A and B are shown apart, each in its own frame.
Chain A
Amino acid sequence: DAGVIQSPRHEVTEMGQEVTLRCKPISGHNSLFWYRQTMMRGLELLIYFNNNVPIDDSGMPEDRFSAKMPNASFSTLKIQPSEPRDSAVYFCASRWGIGSQYFGPGTRLLVL
């Protein structure tokens, strides 16, 4: 298995632009998680899906953030409009049942 795949790996954009991050979970996994990692706040859970349904989005910082999972093999995290304080590394992770989480390589986002 290729593991969790994220794209793009790096993204540089200007404030106010829309940013879309993509994730392909491991085949057969039924839960998907989006995290954000910064030096100041560490690793934070933004939202998770179970069987493609959003279960808890209480970690999403504000309405500028949205996430979708249209099918079991694809999810997006969108920021619109982006702001410099959104600069961080965004990770996607997946798992099956109550097993271990498997993380993707992350998307390093820089908003100028």
Chain B
Amino acid sequence: KQEVTQIPAALSVPEGENLVLNCSFTDSAIYNLQWFRQDPGKGLTSLLLIQSSQREQTSGRLNASLDKSSGRSTLYIAASQPGDSATYLCAVELNTGNQFYFGTGTSLTVIP
């Protein structure tokens, strides 16, 4: 069974810092990997989707990379802002299609 791990579980940084969130998975036979953010009491908001044939995706201050062979993905957030405070989750979809496994998330706090 696919296992998805996110380290650290919690992270606190001062505003303006660049930071990296990590996601690792045990089965490299994935179809894609998606990063989400979840605000307290809310649903998940899609941030970036990386297909297995891609190595990275960028959206604004966010950059996600994927290394299938090592079973790792990183989410890079540039110039962090207090509004970035949320829980960030990664999810992998197996290449059998429509089988999703989520990590337990990294809770990010950006201190003004």
Does A74 sit within 8 A of B, measured CB to CB?
Answer: no
Does B46 sit within 8 A of A, measured CB to CB?
Answer: yes
Interface string of B37-50 (1 = CB under 8 A from A): 00000111110010
B42 near A50 (CB under 8 angstroms)? no
Does B32 sit within 8 A of A, measured CB to CB?
Answer: yes
Closest A-chain residue to B6, C-beta based?
A42
Give the bracket for the number of chain B residues in contact with chain A: 20 to 34
B43 near A106 (CB under 8 angstroms)? yes
Closest B-chain residue to A39, C-beta based?
B104
Given contacts A100-B46, A101-B46, contact A42 B102 (CB under 8 A): yes
Q: For residue B49, which residues in chain A have a CB less than 8 angstroms away from its CB? A: 99-100
Which among B43, B98, B105 is the interface contact of A48 at CB below 8 angstroms?
B98
When chains A and B are docked, how far (Å) is the Cα of A44 from the Cα of B99? 11
Interface class of chain A by DSSP:
strand
B34 near A91 (CB under 8 angstroms)? no
Distance in Å from the Cβ of A46 to the closest Cβ of chain B? 11
Interface string of B66-98 (1 = CB under 8 A from A): 000000000000000000000001010000011
Q: A100-B49, A103-B44 are in contact. List 14 more A-B contacts (CB 8 A).
A: A31-B98, A33-B98, A33-B100, A43-B44, A50-B98, A55-B98, A56-B98, A56-B99, A93-B44, A98-B51, A100-B34, A100-B46, A103-B36, A103-B43
